[in-house]
Chain A
C-alpha cells in the first residue's frame, strides 16, 4: 500500500470527519438559536394518542410503508428508497472497515458479494434518480444545482465503492484512492448540501410527531378501505 493511499484512508478521512462534525455542531447550534414553539392547548383526540406515541410513530413512519399514502401507493419507489439508503449505509461502513478492520471483509465469503449487491443496486437506483430528476416535469421544477450535484456525486461514489469492496490495492490503487478521496470530499461537502437532511430528520419528525400526537392525529388510523353504499 502506498503512503498516499494510507494517508487517504486514515488521515484524510479523520480530518474530513472532524470538519464534518464541527460543521454539524455549528449547524445544530444555528437551528437551536431559533426560538422553540410553545404549546398551551389541552390535548385533543382520542385517549389512546399522546405526544410520546406521536413521536414514536413519527420516527417509525419511514419504516412503515403502509403508514403514509405516499409510500403505500408508490411501493416500488419505497423499495428503491430502502435499497438506496442501505447502499449508502454499506458504502459509509466500507470507509471504516477498509482502514480499521480490513480482515472483516474476509471473515465470510458472502460479505463482499452482499456489499457489492446493495452498493451496486444503489448505483443503479442513483442513475434512475438522475434520469427522474432530469425528465420528470415536477422534480425538474424543484431541482437546484445542489440537488443534481449531490445525486450525481453520490452515484459516482457508489460506482467506486462497488469496485473498492474487495480492497485489492495490490491490483492497483486507483479505485481505492478515488473512493477514499470522494468519501473525504463528501464528508466535507455533506453538511453544506441537501444530503445533510438526515441531521434534521430526527428533529423534524420529533416535532411533527409531538404536535400530531398531542392533537390526536398520530398514530394515524385508516379504515375502512372501500367506500360506497
Chain B
C-alpha cells in the first residue's frame, strides 16, 4: 500500500534524509524500544504535564516514522504495524517543523538519559536540516541564516559597525584605565591569540569585549581580533544546515590562518564554542592546524600562571553557575568555569542538578530567534526558575550568550530577584590593576563635572505597549534625557515634526501606522531624515521590512526584551556615532 502523492517539499525531505543518514543515526532510529525512560528528562514535559507530544520519544517518533517508512524493512512492508509514515503534504511538514523547532532545544538531556544510547538531539538537528533544505523553517531562523550567509555574522552587523564598536570600547577603556596605550589590536599578524566573538557582544553587550580586552592587556598577551570572519557563532548548529555550518566555520578558520594566529580563543558562547571547537572541523571538512579554546580556559590559565591577579572580594554577592548545554553536555566544559568562579567570587553555590544533568536555559537551539514559540519557551522555563530560586544566589553566571538571554527572560517572567552575568565580567571586575600615582589638579584647569549620559537630549519613545514605553522612558529620564512618548505611528510623526528630537526609538508592529511606515515617512521627510532611529522590536522576523528598504538603515536596533544596560549602551553608541560623523563632516 503506497502513500498518497507527496508534495514536492515532502519528497525533498524524504530524499534528503537518505543523503544525511549515517550509521549512528540509523542505529538510533532503529534501536528505540519506546520504554519511555527519557520522558521526564525534558523540561518541556515537566512543564506540560499530561501532554505526550512534548515527550522526547514522541518527538523522535515524528522523525523516526519517516525513516521507517522509507529506509527500514518493516516500515516499508507493513507501515501500520510499526507506525511508519511519510509526510505527504506541506501541512505535514509544518507540523514536523512545530515539533523539531518549537518543542525541543536540542539540549541533549534526553540523550544522556536513554538506556539505549539513542541520541535524539542529533537526529532532531538532522530533521531541522531536512526542513531547511525544503525551505520550511521559522521566520527567525530564515532571517538569521540569511544574515550569516550574506553578511558573515548572524546578527547582520556591518563591518563598519563592528570596527566602530571595537574603537569605541578601546577609547572607553583607555579613559577608564587612564592609559592611552591600551589597544584592541585588529588584524595584527603572527599573534599568539586570535580572539573571536559573538555578534551579540557588538550589538547588545560591548562591555564584554572591553572586559576581555582588559584581561588580554593585563596578561601581556600578544593578541588580535580579525576585521572580518570574526563571528564564532554558527547558526548551522541550530538550523541543522551543515553547509551553512561549514561555510561559517571555514570563514573563521581561514581568517586565523591568514593572520598566522597560533591559537583561536572563543569568547563565552555555548553554541559558538561547540560549533567552532567541536562540530566546525567536521562540517568544514578541515583539519585545523591551530589550537582552539574557550576564553574560560584562557582566563583560568592566566590566573594560574600569575599573568593576571584577581581579588575575589570584589565579587562578594552569592553566585550560582548555569551550565550551557553546548559547553557542558556536548563539549565537556564542566570544571573549568567552576574553578574560575572559585578564584574570582567569594560565594559560589552550585545549583542542582548541575554539570551534565543541568537543565536548559530554554534559550538554546536557536529558540531566542523563534518568536512564535516564546510563550512555550517561557512556560518551559519554570524548571529553570525553580532551580535558580533554590540556590538563593543573587547572580547566575553562565558562559553562553544564548543562556544570558534565555535566563534573563526566565528571571523576568518568574520575577526572580536575580541577575545574569558572564565569567569575563566577573574576572574583569576582580582584576587587580596596579594603581597609578595620582597627579594633583593643576591650578587653572577645571575638573569636568560628572554629567548624566543623555543630558540635553530629546528622545521620542514610540511603542504601543504603555508598560514598555514607561520602562524605556524611565531609564532614559534617569540618565538625563527629556522624553516624549507616542503610542502610535501618527502621533510619533506629529511629535517628531514638532519637537525634532535627537533620537527616536521605534517599535515595528503597532496598530494604525506601523513602525515601517513611520520609518518610511521619517526618512522621506527632508527635515526629519537625519534624526537617528533605534528600532526596538519583539518581532525580529519583521526587521527585514526595515533593512531591505533602499533608505538609510536605522542607526540602532534592539530585540525585545531589552535590559537597562543594553538600552543605555546602544543609545550612547548612537549618539557617539552621530557625533563622530558630524565632526568628520
Max chain A Cβ within 10 angstroms of own Cβ: one of B30, B391, B392: B30
Once A143-B34, A217-B330, A222-B353 are accepted as A-B contacts, the answer to whether A207 and B23 lie under 8 Å apart by CB is yes
List the B side residues contacting A100 at CB < 8 Å.
none
User: Which residues of the other chain, B, contact A141 by a CB distance below 8 angstroms?
Assistant: 52-53, 55, 58
Q: Which residues of B have CB within 8 Å of A144?
A: 34, 81-83
Interface digits, A180-206 against B, CB 8 Å rule (1 contact, 0 not)?
000000000000111001001101110
B390 touches A220 (CB 8 A): no
Inter-chain contacts of B349 with A (CB < 8 A): 227-229
Q: Does A146 contact B (CB under 8 A)?
A: yes
Q: Contacts A39-B282, A229-B392 hold; do A204 and B356 have CB atoms under 8 A apart? A: no
CA–CA, A30 to B82, complex, Å? 18
Residues of A contacting B114 with CB < 8 Å?
Answer: 70
**Which residues of the other chain, B, contact A227 by a CB distance below 8 angstroms?**
320, 349-352, 354, 387, 390-391
Asked whether, in the complex, the Cβ of A37 is within 8 Å of the Cβ of B279, the reply is no
B332 touching A136, Cβ below 8 Å: no
Question: Is B23 touching A37 in the complex (CB atoms < 8 A)?
Answer: yes
Distance (whole angstroms) from the CB of A228 to the closest CB of chain B? 5
Q: Is B400 an interface residue, CB under 8 A from the partner?
A: no
What residues of B have a CB within 8 angstroms of the CB of A203 in the complex? Answer: 23, 27, 31
Instruction: Produce 1/0 per residue, B392-420, CB < 8 A to A.
Output: 11000000000000000000000000000
* Residue from A138, A194, A200, A205 within 8 A of B55 (CB atoms): A138
The residue on B at minimum CB distance from A77 is: B37
**Contact between chains at A207 and B34 (CB < 8 Å):** no
- Interface pair A220/B357, CB less than 8 Å apart: yes
Which B residues are in CB contact (< 8 Å) with A216?
A: 331-334
CB nearest neighbor in B for A208: B117
Partner of B23, one of A31, A209, A221: A31
Q: Are B30 and A45 in contact (CB under 8 A)?
A: no
Contact, CB under 8 Å: A34 / B118: no
Q: Which residues of A contact B128 (CB under 8 A)?
A: none
Interchain CB contact under 8 A, A45 and B115: no
> Using Cβ atoms and an 8 Å threshold, which residues of chain A touch B100?
none
Beta-carbon contact of B352 and A225 below 8 Å: yes
| In the complex, B148 has a CB within 8 A of chain A | no
Whether B55 contacts A217 by the Cβ 8 Å rule is: no
The answer to whether B28 and A69 touch across the interface, beta carbons within 8 angstroms, is no
Judge if A106 is at the interface, Cβ distance under 8 Å.
no
Residues of B within 8 A of A70 (CB): 37-38, 40-41, 113-115
Measured between beta carbons, the chain A residues less than 8 angstroms from B35 are 81
Kindly state whether residue B119 has any CB partner on chain A within 8 Å.
yes
Q: Is B545 an interface residue (CB 8 A)?
A: no
Q: B469 in the interface, Cβ–Cβ < 8 Å?
A: no
Q: Does A42 contact B (CB under 8 A)?
A: yes
Q: Is B318 an interface residue (CB 8 A)?
A: yes
Known: A37-B23, A74-B37. A44 touches B350 (CB 8 A): no
Question: How distant is the Cα of A73 from the Cα of B277 in the complex, in angstroms?
Answer: 34
Whole-angstrom distance between the alpha carbons of A220 and B115 in the complex? 14
Given contacts A226-B352, A228-B392, contact A142 B36 (CB under 8 A): yes
Contacts A137-B50, A227-B352, A229-B318; A41 near B74 (Cβ below 8 A): no
Nearest neighbor of A43 in chain B, beta-carbon distance: B332
Can you name the residue of chain A whose Cβ is closest to the Cβ of B284? A40
| In the assembled complex, B61 has its CB within 8 A of some CB on chain A | yes
Q: Once the chains bind, are B116 and A197 in contact (CB under 8 Å)? A: yes
Q: Are B279 and A217 in contact (CB under 8 A)?
A: no
Q: Which residues of the partner chain B approach A197 to less than 8 Å between Cβ atoms?
A: 31-33, 116
| Cα A38 to Cα B73 with chains together (Å) | 26
Q: Does A58 contact B (CB under 8 A)?
A: yes
Q: Which residues of A contact B277 (CB under 8 A)?
A: 41, 44
Contacts of B26 in A (CB 8 A): 31, 34
Given the complex of chains A and B, what is the CA–CA distance between A215 and B387 in angstroms? Answer: 26
Report whether B332 and A207 are in contact in the complex, using a CB–CB cutoff of 8 Å. no
Interface residues of B in 172-198 (CB under 8 A from A): none
CA distance A74 to B38 in the complex (A): 11
**In the complex, what's the smallest C-beta–C-beta distance from B72 to chain A, in angstroms?**
8
Q: What total of chain A residues lie within 8 Å of the partner, measured CB to CB?
A: 66
Contacts of B355 in A (CB 8 A): 220-223
Q: In this assembly, does A134 line the interface, its C-beta being within 8 Å of a C-beta of chain B?
A: no
Kindly list chain B residues whose C-beta atoms are within 8 Å of the C-beta of A71: 37, 115
**Chain B residues closer than 8 Å to A215, beta-carbon distance:** 278, 330-332
- Asked if B22 and A36 sit within 8 Å, CB to CB, the answer is yes
Q: Is A224 an interface residue (CB 8 A)?
A: yes
Shortest Cβ distance from B51 into A: residue: A137
Q: Is B335 an interface residue (CB 8 A)?
A: yes
> Which B residues, 80 to 100, have Cβ-Cβ distances below 8 Å to chain A?
80-83
**Which chain B residues lie closer than 8 Å to A81 at the CB level?**
35, 115
Determine if A139 is an interface residue (Cβ-Cβ < 8 Å).
Answer: yes
B83: chain A residues at CB < 8 Å are 144-145
**Contact for B357 among A40, A212, A222, CB less than 8 A:** A222
Produce 1/0 per residue, A127-166, CB < 8 A to B.
0000000001111111111110000000000000000000
Within 8 A of A (CB), among B342-384: 347, 349-357
B496 at the binding interface (Cβ < 8 Å): no
Given contact pairs A71-B37, A228-B349, A229-B349, A40 touches B286 in the complex (Cβ within 8 A): yes
Minimal Cβ-Cβ distance residue in B for A227? B352
Output the least CB separation between B268 and chain A (Å). 15
Instruction: Say yes or no: B80 contacts A205, CB within 8 Å.
Output: no
Q: Is B112 an interface residue (CB 8 A)?
A: yes
**Binary per-residue interface labels of chain B (458-494) against chain A in the complex, 1 for a CB within 8 Å, 0 otherwise:** 0000000000000000000000000000000000000
Residues B23 and A36 in contact, CB atoms below 8 Å apart: yes
B57 contacts the other chain (CB 8 A): yes
Contact between B81 and A146 (Cβ–Cβ < 8 Å)? yes
Residues of A with C-beta under 8 A to B38: 70
Min CB distance, A40 to chain B, in Å? 4
Interchain nearest-CB distance for B284 vs A (Å): 9
User: With A70-B41, A224-B350, A229-B349 known to touch, is A34 a contact of B21 (CB < 8 Å)?
Assistant: yes
A35 touches B22 (CB 8 A): yes
Centre residue among A136, A143, A212 by max chain B CB count within 10 A: A212
User: Is A68's CB within 8 Å of the partner chain B?
Assistant: yes
- Which among A37, A46, A228 has the highest number of chain B CB atoms within 10 Å? A228
Q: State A37–B26 Cα separation when bound (angstroms).
A: 11
**Min C-beta distance of B209 to chain A, whole Å:** 25
Closest A residue to B24 by beta carbon equals: A207
Is B158 located at the chain interface by the 8 A CB criterion? no
Per-position 1/0 for A53-78, Cβ under 8 A of B:
00000100110000011110110010
- Name 16 interchain pairs, CB-CB below 8 A, sorted by A: A31-B23, A46-B332, A68-B115, A70-B114, A143-B34, A144-B81, A192-B73, A194-B82, A204-B28, A207-B23, A207-B24, A215-B330, A222-B356, A227-B354, A227-B387, A229-B347
| Contact surface of B with A, Cβ cutoff 8 Å | 21-28, 30-41, 50, 52-53, 55, 57-58, 61, 73-74, 80-83, 111-119, 277-282, 285-288, 292, 318, 320, 328-335, 347, 349-357, 387, 390-393
20 new A-B pairs (CB below 8 Å) besides A45-B333, A200-B116?
Answer: A32-B23, A34-B21, A34-B26, A37-B24, A40-B287, A42-B292, A46-B332, A69-B357, A70-B38, A144-B34, A194-B33, A197-B32, A200-B27, A217-B329, A220-B355, A221-B355, A221-B356, A227-B352, A228-B392, A229-B347
Which 4 pairs show the lowest CB-CB distances between chains A and B? A216-B332, A45-B332, A141-B52, A229-B392
